[in-house]
Structure 1
Amino acid sequence: MSRAAWRATQAMVLRDLRILLSYRFRWISILLGPAVFVVLFYYVSRLVVVESVGSSDGYFSFVITGMAGLAVLTAAVSEVSTTLRNEQIAGTLERLATSAFGPLRACVAMTVYPVLQAMVVGMVTILMGMAIGNLRPGLPELVAAVPALALVAFAFAPLGLLAAALTFVVRQATMGVTLMITVFSVVAGVYFPISLLPEWIRWTSDVQPFTPAVGILRHLLATSPLEGSVWGDAARLAAFTVVLLPLSLIALRAALAHARARGTMTEY
């Protein structure tokens, strides 16, 4: 990335941060959601004992670490298309589309701030779990959770770019993205062990990358055993990124060309 592109990306991140800070209580609402879920699942865990996760405290640690990963996944996949749609409706996408930075690099840069914010929310969720429940990772494991969350973000950012491409073509991609995230959360076992899934659908847990992502977080923070190794699961996530990122950029470039040809890039 050139120095000019890097500075433009920084400017977009600062812009999004300033927009957030311009609403006095918005940051409270961002953190209130995880707080509600942490408290909710703490009391739900008092009612749940699953053999594969052990005691109620084991289930609480299980679900909180899954939610931290889900926060990053959701931001990486859905926030770019949502931001694009808002830019189209507000009429501010024209400035990005006609700038020297260009719409393609602008779409890529739009992924940075939401992912950073989601990583903060994920870490806050973990800290809330430590404060309320029996989630007790050591300091090295807690520090290691930061690059683990970043790895999740990098792995799923290509899906966010594909959603952005779809937004330029059909405008509304929210429903499809929400459905995809829901499917990922179910088959990866965010809220319950994948061993409880029916046999006919359990294979989907092994062919998508969110399962190893959640597994790494649980191994680090809740001492859950892995079927393989941390490095093996990390390699699966990296491979997913390496394969899908070029395809997502090609799809986004094609969607931009389609929107230019039809003159609909900034229409809402």
Structure 2
Amino acid sequence: MLSKIIAFLKRDFKSEVSYRFSFLMNLFSILFSIATFFFLSKLIGKSVGFQLKEYGGDYFSFVLIGIAFSSFLGTGLSSFSSTISGAQSEGTLEAMLITPTKVSGIIVMASLWDFLMTAFDVILYLALGSLLFGVNLSKANVPGALLVLILTVTAFSGLGIISASFIMVLKRGDPINWLFGTFSSFVGGTFFPITVLPVWLQKMAYLFPIFYALRAMRHAVLQGFSFMALLPDIAALALFSLIILPISMVAFKKAIKFAKTDGSLVTY
């Protein structure tokens, strides 16, 4: 298994380094994104301090964690489906699926590089936010944040595998990506606390794992909450993972079976 993981990572690393300019563009995009919200926070000032009291009262720190860690949602939702689409267009999907490696192993290993690069981006967000824009990360509960991150990636990956199942069958038009990629970022508190939303939308936020992920991550990184204080959100993310992952694996296997029966496995 380790040799297979290394092989996938070597493949993706070679592809990545062949586009060096893309790395620089990504770096500048992160920098400009941080700067945009920094100056927006200057405009907002202390007017939202009451709504952000449980996160320290600073809007820039609040939104920095939101845009940094919500990128794992985007990666989780898009990585698996893009891997499937890419393998279909390159004609390698069928060859991979007939190997002795389990289907679950193939889709996880094929997307591992994307998660590593997302983790690197998150580190850049936090480092630039701290070094250039003065975000205080001295209170961070790093072990607690890492546990929240692992559960977040697990839950988001399950959603991504379900998304890939739709892509396998429909080729285009994925309702999971739309629902959790667009709507959950709105109600999940990425850019603003959910307390500013109407009550009925606030209640909907509890149905999405991103809400618990961002709340726990802000409490761990900005406020230094202990494991016990983070436990309700950790338990919610663990529950999402336990429910979503088995469903996603079953859905993906059924999608492959349908595509093989339909004769559309290698079409895109």
Distance, in Å, in 2 between the alignment partners of 1:11 and 1:47 is 48
1:29-68 correspondence runs (5 A): 29-48=25-44, 49-50=47-48, 51-53=50-52, 58-68=58-68
How many residues are treated as equivalent by the alignment?
263
Is 2:150 the partner of 1:154? Answer: no
Q: Deviations over 1:146-193 (max 9, x none)?
A: 443232111211001101111110001457514421211111111011
The one-letter amino acid paired with 1:15 is R
Equivalent position SS for 1:25: helix
Task: Determine the structure 1 residue equivalent to 2:141.
Answer: 141
Task: Determine the structure 1 residue equivalent to 2:12.
Answer: 16
By how many angstroms is 1:224 displaced? 8.3
Task: Determine the structure 2 residue equivalent to 1:191.
Answer: 191
The one-letter amino acid paired with 1:33 is S
Task: Determine the structure 1 residue equivalent to 2:251.
Answer: 251
Distance, in Å, in 1 between the alignment partners of 2:215 and 2:176 is 25
Q: Deviations over 1:113-166 (max 9, x none)?
A: 211211111121111111232311127535653443232111211001101111
By how many angstroms is 1:39 displaced? 0.7
Equivalent position SS for 1:265: coil
Structure 2, unpaired ranges of 5+: none
Equivalent position SS for 1:229: helix
Distance, in Å, in 1 between the alignment partners of 2:224 and 2:186 is 18
Residues 17-26 or 70-79, more deviating: 17-26
CA contact (8 A) 2:187 2:204 kept: yes
CA contact (8 A) 2:140 2:224 kept: no
Q: Deviations over 1:214-233 (max 9, x none)?
A: 0111112222889x930221
Q: Percent identity?
A: 26
By how many angstroms is 1:108 displaced? 2.7
The one-letter amino acid paired with 1:194 is I
Equivalent position SS for 1:219: helix
Q: CA RMSD in A?
A: 2.5
Task: Determine the structure 1 residue equivalent to 2:22.
Answer: 26
Structure 1, unpaired ranges of 5+: none
Describe the shift of the 1:150–1:116 C-alpha distance in structure 2 as closer, same or farther (beyond 3 A). Answer: farther
CA contact (8 A) 2:83 2:111 kept: no
CA contact (8 A) 2:56 2:222 kept: no
Q: Provide the TM-score with structure 1 as the length reference.
A: 0.89
Distance, in Å, in 1 between the alignment partners of 2:230 and 2:239 is 14
Q: Provide the TM-score with structure 2 as the length reference.
A: 0.89
Task: Determine the structure 2 residue equivalent to 1:82.
Answer: 82
